[in-house]
Structure 1
Amino acid sequence: MKRFNQLKKAVLTAFALCLFILGPTVDAATWTITYPRPIDDSDARTQYPIALLKLALDKTGVNYELRPSDRILLTGKAMRQLRENREVNVVWSMTDSQREKELTPIRIPIAKGLIGLRVFVINQSKKAKFDGVLSLNDMRKLVPVQGEEWPDTKILQANGFNVFTVPEFREAYDMIKQGKGDFFPRSVMEVNAELEAQGRRNNLYLEPAMALYYPTAMYYFVSSSNKTLANLIETGLNRAIEDGSFDALFESTYAPILASLRVNERKIYTLENPLLPIETPLTNSALWYKRTMDASKK
């Protein structure tokens, strides 16, 4: 009887998974999928991850409701809540080995590695410091500002930087405005929207000629106990890759931003990433933005 019950449970679990994967052929109940509410619901940085998640879910044909959490959740808090199966059941964030141990990553880089391509927000009074940067060793003499719990902080430290840390990104902007630290490395995905939100009348300045790059990925993460949702999102993303809709959304979102930042004209200094899990699909060139992957170490 015990063996029969185990078999019955396995069959039911497999059937439930099929309901998700088969999608259009099944009239299933509506699934509520909750993501972290941003500080501002109009935050441009969240528009692409949400749009891509909707695209992936649509590709599976399941009935779903995608909605933000009831309260604002910054990344660190959102990841903790996700581990405890509270408030949210999907979060997108940069990966590292610890996060992949505690949660289930869907190992498809949703922004093709752009999260690791960093331009520099600086105080206008410090422009001259960057005129003297001719090598990565010169860059290491400058002090970057980063968040206390961010994987980026450990990556920069492992590459010889003395990092000034703050609890969250708004405080990092405050530090730069006050002239503390030398630069705030921000992903090309984020920087335009963030500077726009800071307003025009301030002493912030986007350094125009350089960037840092380290190989990393932004993934969707779900709870380690929610394999069905992980399979659902992965299936939808793969279908979007196969039919070209993933790339179309990526290009329409980021091509204008990359052009405005003149990424192809910048000198890019490439760093090592000791936090990168070995499972990261670096060899699948279709998943990565080509300019960042071709960046040479200088």
Structure 2
Amino acid sequence: MKFLQLISMFILWFLMPGNGLAANIAVYAQLSLKADPRNEYPVQLLELALKNSGALIALKASVENLHQGQAMRMIQNNNGVDVVWTMTSREREKILLPIKIPIYKGLIGWRLCIIHPQNKSLFASVKSILGLTDATFVQGHDWPDTNIFKFNQLSVTSTSNYQAMFDMVLFHRVDAFPRSVIEIWPELESHKDLQVDAHLLIRYPAAVYYFVNRKNKKLYNAILVGLNKSIVNGELDRLFNDFYLEAIKRANLTKRRVINLINPLLPENTPLDKKQLWYSSSFLDDNE
């Protein structure tokens, strides 16, 4: 922690007024509707990070709702968007600059399955990945998860239409829509004809980072300083718990069988050794 504090102090000096950063606006990619609760935590955390950095940077949402691929291309080309939060991969870290602090503490790779109520026993007897080979899953066409499922020899179809994924489950075109333990409950509130499988946790190492243009070092440094300060002073944990502690409890993880997948897209320098950045529990340790 002392090392993080020293780095943060140095970068903070650089960002102070008079040290090279003028008042500015950073446009974040709005990946869904403004009223979508999935926006709230990453936006609030980004606001907190910029506030704690001391940088004179204000946040503004993109005018249009964007797909992840669109947002990343716009950032890469300096075309009206400055920052996006999305799951990391080797390819994404080549084209954009990641702030390597997993904002969801790795829980984006802890997946429960949205299923049709008629399929509530579909995974009841599954004890290993082999038991999933007859099921068909759905994921977003530009999500790294799609390739993760394919790499693990699982059947997955993809679409760019978010609502269509729920419809595909509802109309029995696929068997399951895996969603993170921190995403799934609000989504079920607006899809009451579906339910959450009670038997499995599908898990793979994954991190959602904030990404910026590779040349935008000032915004990168501001977010990095602010997130590190938010870790040290406990504000990141408090915000995370406010949003997600109840969702984690509701997932009833200790009652689930864990199916571990390999994530071939995970960069080698992902900071998995920095335990303070990741969610952990005795349940996790027992299933390594």
Calculate the TM-score normalised by the size of structure 2. 0.90
Q: Would you tell me which structure has more helix in proportion to its own residues?
A: 1
Counting only pairs closer than 5 Å after superposition, residues 222-261 of structure 1 correspond to structure 2 as 222-261=212-251
Give distance in 2, aligned partners of 1:270 and 1:25: 50
| Change over 3 Å in CA distance of 1:21–1:294 after alignment to 2 | farther
Calculate the TM-score normalised by the size of structure 1. 0.87
- 2:155 maps to what in 1? 162
Give distance in 1, aligned partners of 2:63 and 2:142: 23
Q: By how many angstroms is 1:193 displaced?
A: 1.7
Q: By how many angstroms is 1:232 displaced?
A: 1.2
The answer as to whether partners of 1:103 and 1:221 remain within 8 angstroms in 2 is: yes
- 1:14 maps to what in 2? none
The answer as to whether partners of 1:118 and 1:213 remain within 8 angstroms in 2 is: yes
Residue 287 (str. 1) matches residue 280 (str. 2): no
- 2:23 maps to what in 1? 30
| Aligned with 1:275 (options 232, 245, 265) | 265
Which segment is superposed worse, 171-180 or 159-168? 159-168
Q: By how many angstroms is 1:72 displaced?
A: 1.1
- 2:3 maps to what in 1? none
The answer as to whether partners of 1:211 and 1:268 remain within 8 angstroms in 2 is: yes
The answer as to whether partners of 2:21 and 2:218 remain within 8 angstroms in 1 is: no
| Change over 3 Å in CA distance of 1:275–1:211 after alignment to 2 | same
- 1:110 maps to what in 2? 103
- 2:210 maps to what in 1? 220
Structure 1: unaligned runs, 5 residues or longer? 1-16
Q: By how many angstroms is 1:23 displaced?
A: 3.5
| Change over 3 Å in CA distance of 1:24–1:246 after alignment to 2 | farther
| Change over 3 Å in CA distance of 1:64–1:137 after alignment to 2 | same
| Aligned with 2:171 (options 171, 174, 178) | 178
Which segment is superposed worse, 56-65 or 149-158? 56-65
- 1:11 maps to what in 2? none
